[in-house]
Chains A and B, each alone.
Chain A
């Protein structure tokens, strides 16, 4: 029986877990604020320090992290998160700096930002990055703002439409809407690639640009990339690179060299910063030279050996309170310095080798919808020989029983039973062979013991959840929970 308590349920009136300094100035008291004070009840836990530590330690055991086992979650690049990065982010002066401190007292912080910015520009083949966007989707939004601002600056007011392939991540069309532009979705061809004829048909003088992931969300490199960027550029549009799949290209191809003008990078994918259960990540946005002036404020600049901050009139505006998820940026820079150019050159290669090895080993058991080598991730479309109609969901859930995280499932949307596997370069042949063995075993179980798969997982802290109930009952807080149990 796994631990099952909420912190509120450990609460005992008048128990304390904190200690604060004594009062120095008792002549003043918060109660002097009278009418401004809260009158309504405030129910928060009252626990000791040990209660609290033990609670969250037990709660943590119900989670699966990269250090628990293989985490082949497609499109998420769950590589190892080096410990030195954590040490650097936490143990030095950076955590104690206020961004408004005098510039001479934050030179190291500004320099780290600047140097990371330069390194990302080099890796991407672009002119400059802003590290201020907080996440991938935030980066997309900011990148689209750059695109829009560029056209407006040229008084080209008609350009309000963005071309996005139907295979794109959901954030692409959502970011376009938030940026006040219109999505033109184009169909992919049977190989999951951009269909050149559909692209041509979509082009017009109303196109602001195109968003593209390469390798695409099927893990395939767009062979026609040069033709695509040329077509869009000739029509007056800009090319946006969704950096979610950048890991595949490290050391092999730079987005700027493919003709992309704007991109974001997910530092929490390609540059090894931890995902933190869904964030904080960081989504730096980089641009070609002619777009640099539109990057968001505040900017960090360098004059000789002096670093300073600047707000620039031509910038698209401000999109964050300060400099993004700064401690995440430090981790990414630590990663880059650790690897250096020699090892950065090998990331894409080893990630791609691992993915193709899995692809080859599982192709007899799982249906491969696309011919040819994949890049850093491989997509299968469910079980190949499947007399009991076992779904991808069942396969994924059964994997949990074997102590592995499930791949991404039901994405890309192009196939009905997508299983998207991204092993990353930090996984060993032994781990991957074990994964292959388990996947084959599950394929076998699908034939011999289908009921087992349909009720999987059975070895996890909880079993399958009732999502319909959650959406109907709408219990979002402990208060709701108590009310529900009263009824």
Chain B
């Protein structure tokens, strides 16, 4: 028959005989004829494994792997070989949600380790076991703030990634919550505008750091301003940069969220990545999603289980904190292995190398006099410049040299006219960076 169906004709006959029927179709006898499928699907015929492999090779050849000099929420960091080796193990890959802890300690333990690492990076108290991506994690953080404060409006910094803003907007709109933007000034969020818009109706304030332009924002005095109104301070942070930048906890944040792709996951055309969501202990019961906790087994041995499940949909149904069920568990293992192998020193080095590469490119580009920095703010690995060169000309020249980025932000929104995004990670070689400079220098 077929390789994934082990039934021989004899097996089927034996089973039918046990059931006292003469054909499998009898099992579907109760289904009315009007809904039964007549004929076959209009789908390709069976392919051999070789044909499937060739088919996808052909699709793959229709793509072009490029040298990535852009970020915009996805970062081309290096992935150590051991990540794939470990995450490919079938024990992790093919298991279900760890509902039977006795035979799921593998998954539960790495979730506990993942939560511990997110706890350490953010400095907050408790992380859940993962969300779908950084944008949905941030939308859920807004829901948390509304749920905790019993208010219905959030303030969103205009310097968030537009994808994150769009997802938050969709989530808020359908749930019946409201939002207002905090405007930006010199490429970073405008603290005066925040001050003006804060009031007792605001459930939470969402900022991103480094922000969409790659710029580092300063939150001195911000948490006090927000907490004065008993609102929540929500930070969307690239967790890789938390190895060196001030932690959400140091900024006085109540909730930290973001996308963990930068910690060991490939670009993968945007997914799968995973979102993280962490908060202070006081709010743990309002956290959505799965949480893993320490306990012991009946012999007193260390064990881990999913806990505080009364927050979740399978127990609370319509009154649950969120509808999330499946999350991005295996991607949390990517993060755990990556963070284990890099450690604090490795994260520092990754950030320092990215910083050096990015700043070298930045200075070289300014020197061409064809690019200008409209913001003049500190940045780490990602930055945004203005140029008078036509964006089409830039993208064509880069394409011809198989380079992706600088990326014209105009294609994301007309608000960003003339702005070009660059990002340089530790992966980019001197030769690649110099090539990019050479290509851009030659344009006018």
Contacts and interface: CB of A to CB of B under 8 A. Distances in A.
A188 interface: no
B60 A340 contact: no
Contacts of A340: 43-47
B426 to A, nearest CB: 6
Contact of B134 (A30, A223, A321, A484): A321
Contacts of A179: 174-175
B259 to A, nearest CB: 7
A52 to B, nearest CB: 5
A336 B297 contact: no
Interface in B325-356: 325-331, 333, 336-337, 339-353, 355-356
Contacts of A474: 126, 281, 284, 293, 307-308
A135 to B, nearest CB: 4
Contact of B100 (A17, A266, A406): A406
A416 interface: no
Contact of B329 (A30, A60, A277): A277
21 contacts: A6-B113, A29-B355, A35-B218, A36-B218, A37-B244, A42-B243, A64-B104, A65-B94, A65-B95, A68-B90, A99-B270, A107-B62, A141-B323, A221-B28, A323-B271, A352-B28, A357-B15, A405-B103, A460-B102, A460-B103, A470-B307
Interface string A144-176: 110010000000000000000000011101111
A86 B130 CA distance: 22
B182 interface: no
Interface residues of A, number: 201
Q: Which of B2, B90, B318 has the most CB of A within 10 A?
A: B318
Given A40-B123, A100-B70, A476 B320 contact: no
A354 to B, nearest CB: 8
Interface stretch (A195-203, A248-256, A383-391, A444-452): A248-256
A274 B381 CA distance: 34
Given A61-B91, A63-B91, A174-B318, A123 B41 contact: yes
B416 interface: no
Contacts of B329: 276-280
B335 to A, nearest CB: 12
B96 to A, nearest CB: 5
Interface stretch (B163-171, B197-205, B435-443): B163-171
A266 B30 CA distance: 25
Nearest to A148: B174
Contacts of A268: 326
B302 A4 contact: yes
B297 A466 contact: yes
A135 B293 contact: no
B31 A253 contact: yes
A87 to B, nearest CB: 7
Contacts of A4: 301-302
A97 interface: yes
A278 B23 CA distance: 36
Contact of B43 (A148, A276, A341, A484): A341
B63 A97 contact: yes
Interface residues of B, number: 206
B109, B117, B175 — which one has the most chain A CB atoms within 10 A of its CB?
B109
Contacts of A463: 102, 297-299, 301
Contact of A93 (B34, B60, B134): B60
Contact of A145 (B52, B56, B170, B330): B170
Contacts of B407: 100
Interface in A39-75: 39-40, 42-47, 49, 52-53, 55-57, 59-68, 71, 73
Nearest to B11: A429
Contact of A59 (B109, B246, B348, B404): B109
Given A7-B336, A33-B244, A477 B127 contact: yes
Contacts of B243: 38, 42
Nearest to A23: B356
Contacts of B125: 476-477, 480
Interface stretch (A231-239, A284-292, A327-335): A327-335
B437 to A, nearest CB: 13
B374 interface: no
A71 B93 CA distance: 14
A381 interface: no
Contacts of A278: 96-98, 107, 129, 290, 326-327, 329
Interface in A317-368: 317-328, 330, 334, 336-346, 349-350, 352-354, 356-357, 360-361
A339 B353 contact: no
Contact of A101 (B66, B242, B249): B66
Contacts of B295: 465-467, 469-470, 473, 475
Given A95-B267, A464-B298, 10 more contacts: A33-B245, A43-B344, A44-B340, A44-B347, A100-B70, A252-B31, A278-B327, A457-B102, A457-B103, A474-B281
A429 B14 contact: yes
B230 interface: no
Nearest to B119: A477
B36 A60 contact: no
A84 interface: yes
A96 B242 CA distance: 24
Contacts of A138: 132, 136, 323-324
B282 to A, nearest CB: 11
B315 A56 contact: no
Contacts of A296: 170
Contacts of A330: 56
Interface stretch (B78-86, B221-229, B365-373, B382-390): B78-86
A18 to B, nearest CB: 4
Nearest to B350: A20
B116 A479 contact: yes
Nearest to B128: A476
A361 B259 CA distance: 49
Interface string B228-270: 0000000000000011111101100000000100000011111
B393 interface: no
B269 A478 contact: no
B46 A320 contact: no
Given A88-B52, A90-B84, A97-B63, A180 B293 contact: no
A116 to B, nearest CB: 11
B47 A337 contact: yes
9 closest residue pairs by CB, A with B: A322-B270, A63-B106, A340-B46, A276-B330, A108-B62, A317-B170, A174-B313, A278-B329, A428-B6
Contact of B356 (A25, A53, A279): A25
A57 B88 CA distance: 11
Given A342-B45, A427-B6, A400 B103 contact: yes
A223 B47 contact: no
A312 interface: no
